[in-house]
A and B are shown apart, each in its own frame.
Chain A
Amino acid sequence: MITATENAFAFSPRRVAAMMLRYWYLLRSSWPRLIDLIYWPTVQMITWGFIQYYVTQNAGLLVRAGGTLIGAMLLWDILFRGQLGFSISFLEEMWARNIGNLMMSPLRPVEFVAALMVMSIVRLAIGVVPVTILALVFFGFNLYGLGFALVAFFINLMLTSWAVGIFVSGLVLRNGLGAENLAWSIMFLFLPLACVYYPVTTLPVWLQPAAWALPPTYVFEGMRALLIDHVFRADLILIAFALNVVLLAGGIFGFLKLLQAARRHGSLMQIGE
């Protein structure tokens, strides 16, 4: 006999594929959604590209740091768009009032989360890959020139974005669409603290431990080390990975607890504001 616990954590690739198919149908049916994916990354890249161009023209020291601004912007976009891609796919179910149908189907929470993870990569690819090509064409910045380091940065940033996305989805399930704004804004908490555009030493000393507690801080420090000093800091990447494992476990735990609370308080029946 299958126990309830085993069954609840069963994993079916078919059900994950069903959810991915659902999001793919949705993306395909709406060109504004596709344009939205690429619009903001492009605007950001062009803005920061010109700022960097101006800085390198006027400050000799910063010439050595060539590419850090565009590189930081592109990596920040991976972090931000990764979380947004996850959260928006989830919010689509809330907006469509479809969450009850899914919660009553055999779809397990872990399968739902897996589908959202894959879709965040798909959405990110649609939005960011063309922008990396524009960065190469217009500003001569080749993100892919980072090679293996880019893979390490990407994995860590995606893990952070998923951890945050999972937790935010739990909050929306428990509190309804009133918590939707968190999906758009929560990642901006990371922007000053993760030191996206400046080194950690820029922060006041008392704030630096908070910065080092965040996995993306290690990624952005690693990127600067690579672009300015041409050194790949594997130590930073490993610490980021370890912190991400903790963060992701916390995100999944939080999601399951919030889902349980939603079942207790009846939030799954009252999807709305």
Chain B
Amino acid sequence: MLQDSVIPAIEVERLVKIYKQVPAVDGISFSIPRGSITGLLGGNGAGKSTTIAMIMGLLMPTAGSVKVLGAQMPHQRYRVLQRMNFESPYVEMPMRLTIRQNLTVFGMLYGVRDLAARIEELAAALDLTSLLDRATGKLSAGQKTRVSLAKSLINSPELLLLDEPTASLDPDTADWVRAHLERYCRERHASVLLASHNMHEVERLCERVIIMKRGRIEDDDTPARLLTRYGRRTLEEVFLDVARGPDEAEAAQ
């Protein structure tokens, strides 16, 4: 039996999701090792959110398999949900509850020990201490994102799934959030799967990039090797090459 620390954070094999005969995800396979930050890139409708939803166990695959920390999703999800967490623009924190109340509820759901201290620790790390007793609905977009991040870190997850974590943030706050994520992963040896449209963010955070198009994986490599292989200076240019084809991308520039 494999030692827990060598079991991949995520193993996706021949994963398929079909909605009304249209494939949203079309037979993709990849594996994400422990302690790594991997970017999932793709245009709108590429299948990123559908893939993440199947990894989280919110969506049942049509075919193929997803294993998270060794547990088959979605059937064995309760074996691992305590060890993972997520942040997504598709969900929000209850607006009428204060930050402290929201974190208390989620901390109890995740069985966090010494919860009051953990909330104070997270609030200090994410610059939320002075806002802890303010209603979540009364916060700015940047503050709300930091609260969502605090919720996603409440259980010190070994695996973090992030869908557009810095969307709608100003450059300063976005940079600050990225720095915090980097630090967290380094200190806790946590694994992150990050779906984003922000190429700068992916280039800075991710040691590996998976590019999806029309439900399939178009490329999968380190940012440096992708730049070399496509002969481009930025990941954004690589993304455009993949999305439009090299000729059309060249013409657009």
Interface residues of A (CB under 8 A from B): 2, 4, 7-8, 10, 12, 14-15, 17-19, 21-22, 25-26, 29-30, 92, 96-108, 260, 263-266, 268-269, 271
Contacts and interface: CB of A to CB of B under 8 A. Distances in A.
Given A29-B96, A103-B58, A7 B101 contact: no
Contact of B109 (A15, A26, A260): A15
Contacts of B109: 15, 18-19, 102, 105-107
A266 B50 contact: yes
Interface string B29-61: 000000000000000000001100100111110
**Interface hub of B59, B94, B111 (most chain A Cβ within 10 A):** B94
Interface of chain B: mostly helix, strand, loop or mixed: mixed
A60 to B, nearest CB: 54
A96 B111 contact: no
A29 B101 CA distance: 11
Interface of B: 19, 49-50, 53, 56-60, 71-72, 74-79, 81-82, 85-86, 88, 90-98, 101, 104-106, 108-111, 135, 151
A22 B100 CA distance: 11
A269 B59 contact: yes
Contacts of B49: 269
Given A22-B97, A104-B86, A266-B19, A4 B105 contact: no
A110 to B, nearest CB: 11
A269 B53 CA distance: 7
A92 B105 CA distance: 15
A69 to B, nearest CB: 38
A7 B57 CA distance: 15
Contacts of A263: 57-60, 74
A104 B75 contact: no
Contact of B108 (A15, A92, A260): A15
B105 to A, nearest CB: 4
B79 A96 contact: no
Contact of B78 (A7, A92, A96): A7
A125 B88 CA distance: 37
A194 to B, nearest CB: 35
B58 A100 contact: yes
Contacts of A107: 109
B79 A266 contact: no
Contacts of A101: 91, 93, 106, 151
B19 A98 contact: no
A260 B74 CA distance: 10
Given A105-B109, A269-B59, 8 more contacts: A7-B76, A15-B111, A21-B101, A21-B108, A26-B94, A96-B92, A104-B85, A105-B110
A104 B58 contact: yes
Contacts of B50: 266
Contacts of B88: 100
B79 A4 contact: yes
Interface of chain A: mostly helix, strand, loop or mixed: helix
A30 to B, nearest CB: 6
Contact of A97 (B76, B92, B97, B111): B92
B212 to A, nearest CB: 17
A10 B78 contact: yes
A29 B137 CA distance: 12
B180 to A, nearest CB: 20
Contacts of B60: 260, 263-264
Contact of A2 (B57, B79, B86): B79
Contacts of B135: 29
B42 to A, nearest CB: 16
Contacts of B71: 4
A21 B88 CA distance: 24
B110 A26 contact: no
23 contacts: A4-B76, A4-B78, A7-B79, A14-B108, A17-B108, A18-B108, A18-B109, A21-B108, A25-B96, A96-B93, A96-B95, A97-B92, A98-B94, A100-B58, A100-B90, A100-B91, A104-B56, A104-B85, A263-B60, A263-B74, A264-B60, A265-B19, A269-B58
A98 B59 contact: no
A252 B180 CA distance: 43
Contacts of B72: 4
Contacts of A12: 111
Nearest to B88: A100
Nearest to A8: B78
A17 B93 CA distance: 18
Nearest to A93: B94
A97 B90 contact: yes
Nearest to B107: A18
Contacts of A260: 60
A102 B56 CA distance: 12
